Structure 1
Amino acid sequence: SIFASGTNLDVVELWFPRLSDEDQMLAVARFNQITSVQGSAMAVALPGIVETLGTLHARSYRLGVATNDSTSGAEKTLVTLGVAQLFDAAYGYDAVANPKPAPDTIQAFCDLTGLKPTQVAMIGDNRHDLEMARAGGCGLAVGVLSGTGTRESLAGIADVILDSVVDLPDFLSARVKETI
């Protein structure tokens, strides 16, 4: 749905199709403000996710967030959840020229970290995430069922599907052992 994968601009365009461009931008700014403050205040971490992120960070993985919400909302949510310090970057739809599923966020993350796209694993719970992984040339597209996607909706585009993001450290450890 537009709420699961669209940007705040997409939502405003849907709700208020007759606004002038100026009024539409004002509405988007207000919607960004509301969703970043109220949305982050209501954020609840998936069970085990804080520990999982800590594990990945301790293993020197570079972590980033790509969302079609606002950058401010993503950053505030990371702070609310107590994990902001684990991330190199958070990219909202308003931080790049073209939001998901375009590859812009992957390119921005690679520019920041010095990684090549083939060294990046994109973990996502919907097709937009995995389409971005493919468009950006990511080395691994991991679908997770701990969000809005289903095994059926992710199967055709994911390299692997995990039940939850919390399964990621074990999966990555096993994958590294296979390549050694």
Structure 2
Amino acid sequence: MPGAHPSEIRAILFDKDGTLVDFNRTWFGITMELAHKAANGDADRARALVAAGGYDWEMERFRGGSVVAAGTINDIVDLWHPELTLEEKRERIRAYDDYAVREGSRRAVGIDGLRETLERLAAQGFILGIATNDSEAGARTTAEALGLTPLFSVIIGYDSVARAKPHADQLELFSARTGIPASAIAMVGDNGHDLEMAHAAGAGLAVGVLSGNSTLDDLASLSDAILGSIADLPDFLAGRGKALRG
């Protein structure tokens, strides 16, 4: 799938969980705790809810593209609480969002080499941003907790736009706020919906990373290039590194 030449890229928009943050180490415990709340303390029911959300108990990881790995809090509430009224769902979304903002930032574990990689990219002149299906508040508090806020020009959550990934809205907002056309932006993410957004918005590059929940096969048809993690990105964009695919 042809994309822009790396030399044409001026800005990089990152997914958060699985791309900047170790998804399973950060979110498994939080998801289990929310599931216990949803199940009113029934441990078996909580395990079933987490499995429905995409956790593979044999592999001990969330599946790529699953509701927990790729969806929003709204999607999780819809899955776990189909019996609630609209107003009850809104209240549950607010409660879960508040918990996720607080605990997601407190327990955030960065991908290996996170700060060094972002500092290298900034030194290379790239404008950096975050686009996540977590809330904007969650993304901001996590960036702050990891000491990364000064490195990002724009931080966008699912609630910053009308439509979350895989729609184009987040990348279009990043483009509007930075003044950089989509064709000069690389979208980097670990799930298919990240790359689908890149194509929907006309991004210059759709770069998949294997640091999250997806496999090479999951991302192959959607990516212009696939890297092991963002640690490979500075050399790749400088023309010195080789992608696993692309």
Q: What TM-score comes out, normalization by structure 2 length?
A: 0.70
What are the Cα deviations for residues 139-169 of structure 1, in whole angstroms up to 9, with x where unaligned? 0000111111111000001001011110000
Q: Give, in whole Å, the separation in 1 of the partners of 2:167 and 2:126.
A: 23
* 1:24 lines up with 2:84 in the alignment: no
Gaps of 5+ in 2: 1-65, 241-246
CA shift for structure 1 position 41: 0.4
Structure 1 match to 2:143: 78
Structure 2 match to 1:68: 133
Structure 2 match to 1:154: 219
Q: Give, in whole Å, the separation in 1 of the partners of 2:142 and 2:174.
A: 19
Structure 2 match to 1:93: 158
Higher relative contact order (CA 8 A, sep 6+): 2
Structure 2 match to 1:14: 79
Structure 1 match to 2:244: none
Q: Select the residue among 165, 173, 180 that pairs with 2:238.
A: 173
C-alpha RMSD over aligned residues = 0.9
CA shift for structure 1 position 77: 0.6
Structure 2 match to 1:163: 228
SS in structure 2 of the partner of residue 142 of structure 1: strand
Q: Select the residue among 136, 140, 143 that pairs with 2:201.
A: 136
SS in structure 2 of the partner of residue 63 of structure 1: strand
Structure 1 match to 2:119: 54
Q: Which runs of 4+ in 1 moved over 2 A?
A: none
Q: Select the residue among 106, 125, 135 that pairs with 2:171.
A: 106
Q: How many residues align?
A: 175
SS in structure 1 of the partner of residue 226 of structure 2: strand
Amino acid at match of 1:35: A
Amino acid at match of 2:152: F
Instruction: Percent identity, please.
Output: 47
SS in structure 1 of the partner of residue 126 of structure 2: coil
For the pair shown, the structure with the greater C-alpha radius of gyration is: 2
SS in structure 1 of the partner of residue 84 of structure 2: coil
Q: Select the residue among 28, 38, 41 that pairs with 2:106.
A: 41
**Residues 56-65 or 92-101, more deviating:** 56-65
Amino acid at match of 1:34: Y
Q: What TM-score comes out, normalization by structure 1 length?
A: 0.95
CA shift for structure 1 position 9: 0.3
Amino acid at match of 2:197: M
CA shift for structure 1 position 91: 1.0
Gaps of 5+ in 1: 176-180
Q: Select the residue among 186, 205, 210 that pairs with 1:145.
A: 210
CA shift for structure 1 position 21: 1.1
CA shift for structure 1 position 45: 0.9
* 1:117 lines up with 2:207 in the alignment: no
Q: Give, in whole Å, the separation in 2 of the partners of 1:144 and 1:41.
A: 24
Q: Give, in whole Å, the separation in 1 of the partners of 2:77 and 2:135.
A: 13
SS in structure 2 of the partner of residue 143 of structure 1: strand
